[in-house]
Structure 1
Amino acid sequence: MTIQIDSLETSTKKIIYSNECKEILNLSVAKIQEMFKSSGIILFRGFEVTHELMQVFAEQFSSRFTRDDDKPLVDPNGFVSSVDIGMHEILPHRENGSSPFSPDAVWFCCTIPAAQGGETLFWDGIQVWQKFSEELKELFISKKIKFVHKFPADKWKHFLGSDATISDAKQVLDGFNSVKYQIDEEESIYTEYICSAVIQTKYSNQNAFVNDIITGNSNLKGCANLELESALTFEDGSLIPDVVIEKIEKVMYSLTEEIQWQAGDLVMIDNSRFLHGRRAFNDSRRRLFALLSYLNF
């Protein structure tokens, strides 16, 4: 079976069309795995994918799924979530990148695109890192970053399962050398997660600037007068200077790419290589769904 494949813009990302193979479940799993390893993003177009079909398709590539701690689930006992909370711009981020529970892959499917706007944006962390100045590279090689979070019980159970206990949470957190934590009387967990802003990609073992620095910095500025339940600093507790944030943004926004959604589209994103975000839109009909998974290849 011949698969029609096009590149997305000028990057390594690929589009698979349904010209000869109308059923997405009939596509070669092995071919998709190899393509994903090299490209990091695959857009499947013309297969009329629904959120139910997205999960069935993703199961072929996944060892397990995890839940998003911010977005409402379509099924309270499932893993697919709606991403149409608000219509605002979403800044570049790695999914769950401010915690040790970052999935391998992010899946999105669109059943109704916005009439205008609402494109999903993405940035290749390998390209971002390569375009950094030597000074900026040295800064993030020499200094790790620290995320401080409060996770109420209903939030950390999104990661560990609705039946998880505090003992389960302790066992999982004790397995991370990068995490310090405290638990209060209401079973909220306060974590300090220390990580590098530049990570090794899952498949090519290349340096990639993939993290939550831009969104974390923006959230702190937006909550300056509120009681914070999260914080972002360098490992030593010092703030990341505004001039550094500006240099990061200048490089990143010069490399922005986008997915202009069509109904039935499905996209598979390597969360160890790419950051993603969204353009603002003004169309309450838009329907986009997400699924997070750990891959089995």
Structure 2
Amino acid sequence: MDEHGRWQPYVITPERAGCPPTADGLAGHLREVDVAALLTVHGALVFRGFGVEPGTLDPVMDLLLPNRLAYVHGNTPRTKVGDNVYTSTEYPAKYTISMHNELSYAAHWPSRLLFYCQIAAATGGATPVLDARLWLELLDPEIREAFAGGVCYQQNLHDGMGLGKSWQQTFETEDRAEVEGFLAGTGATWKWTSDGLRISQVRPATTRHPVTGVEVWFNQTDQWHPAGLEDDVARVMMQVMTPDELPQSVTFADGAPIPEEYVRQIRDRGLDAAVDIDWRVGDLMVIDNILVAHGRRPYTGDRRILVAMSD
């Protein structure tokens, strides 16, 4: 919390930690603290001033992420750059990425995310973070009631030629049986088509934190619904394709369409309430993926933020 009682990430510096301003100093500090407890209290931790470089990142990451996960069933364009380490996104720099909890549309999601700033943008490029409890509270009662029954996500993943990600990229495999084995444990329905894979899955719109029990907004409706996107390509797709043909779409759980004004309120109130993390080279941030949503502001110049996740 800041001096006005508003939620803020907890910033840890060498001075606050009482350790040398080095990656080794940070690693030593992390061995002495309960990161899980800190995340439950604060939701997000920013480590600043420790001079972490790509060559010293792995030992620190291992302490912050006990079990690094692959980005399986992820819908964001990323490049894998290490052992379950990815670029944060390759979405064009001129667009905002709205608030979301990672993989909240899926049956399984990471409990913890880590971001590392290798290259800071020339201008912009902040990562906004948001208390997901507050996001739920900010929505009109009409919207909270409408979403009480959950939502249905649909993906059309092509076979190598088409819009969006292929099923091979999404599941990091060329083996259809491996994909089916993964989906069999998710409650999703799916079918192979002439040009790829169609997946449909009903998920709740909110969830509760396993430790605190607090209820949070936890879905990606505004990112899966065309009305929530500012991308010019998305607008064109809306004009030439039906909802069933789009790379991804979302309805209420019963198949009823979600009003565009609901989608815009969800997107805008989340972005407006978020706290921007303006990156400095070497910064790390860890977030509790249930308590805290994240996004991205537009930017200019080069920007390279790496991301990893754990259960």
Q: TM-score range by the shorter chain?
A: 0.7 to 0.9
Could you list the per-position Cα deviations for residues 188-209 of structure 1 after superposition, in whole angstroms to 9, with x for gaps in the alignment?
4321111111111243221101
Deviation, structure 1 residue 236: 1.6
When the two chains are superposed, the root-mean-square deviation of aligned CA atoms in Å is: 2.8
Moved over 6 A (4+): 5-9
Give the whole-Å Cα distance in 1 for the aligned partners of 2:235 and 2:150.
Answer: 21
- Aligned counterpart, 2:84: 79
Query: Which string of whole-angstrom CA distances, capped at 9 and with x for unpartnered residues, describes residues 139-182 of structure 1?
Result: 222x21111012356855556554x73333222222223x1111
**Using a 3 Å threshold, how does the CA distance of structure 1 residues 84 and 251 change in structure 2: closer, same or farther?**
closer
Q: Structure 1 residues 165 and 7, CA, compared in 2 at 3 Å: closer, same or farther?
A: farther
| Residues 1:120 and 2:122 are matched in the alignment | no
Aligned-partner Cα distance in 1 for 2:236–2:56: 37
Pair 1:273 & 2:287 matched? no
Instruction: Establish whether residue 198 from structure 1 lines up as the match of residue 203 from structure 2.
Output: no
For residue 200 of structure 1, what is the amino acid of its counterpart?
A: R
The whole-number CA distance in structure 1 between the counterparts of 2:100 and 2:266 is 13
Output the CA distance in 2 between the equivalents of 1:42 and 1:229.
34
Corresponding residue of 2:50: 47
Shift of 1:221: 4.4
Residue 246 (structure 2) pairs with residue 233 (structure 1): no
- State the alpha-carbon separation in 1 of the partners of residues 264 and 156 from structure 2: 27
Partner residue of 1:251? 269
Indicate if the aligned counterparts of 1:50 and 1:110 stay in contact, CA closer than 8 A: no
Q: CA deviation at 1:244?
A: 1.5
Q: Are 1:293 and 2:275 counterparts?
A: no
CA distance in 2, matches of 1:8, 1:182: 52
Query: Which residue of the partner structure matches residue 167 of structure 1?
Result: 177
Query: Which moved further from structure 2: 193-202 or 94-103?
Result: 94-103
Q: Deviations over 1:19-45 (max 9, x none)?
A: 232322112344222111111110000
Find the counterpart in structure 1 of residue 219 from structure 2. 211
For residues 219-253 of structure 1, the C-alpha deviation after alignment (integer angstroms, 9 at most, x for no partner) is 46462124522211111212110222233245324
Q: Distance in 1 between matches of 2:89 and 2:251?
A: 30
Mind listing any 5+ residue stretches in structure 1 that lack a counterpart? none
TM-score computed with the length of structure 2 as normaliser: 0.80
Give the TM-score of the pair, scaled to structure 1.
Answer: 0.83
- Do the aligned residues in 2 keep the contact of 1:8 with 1:14 (CA within 8 Å)? no
Which amino acid letter does the alignment assign opposite residue 14 of structure 1?
Y
Residue 283 (structure 1) aligned with residue 290 (structure 2): no
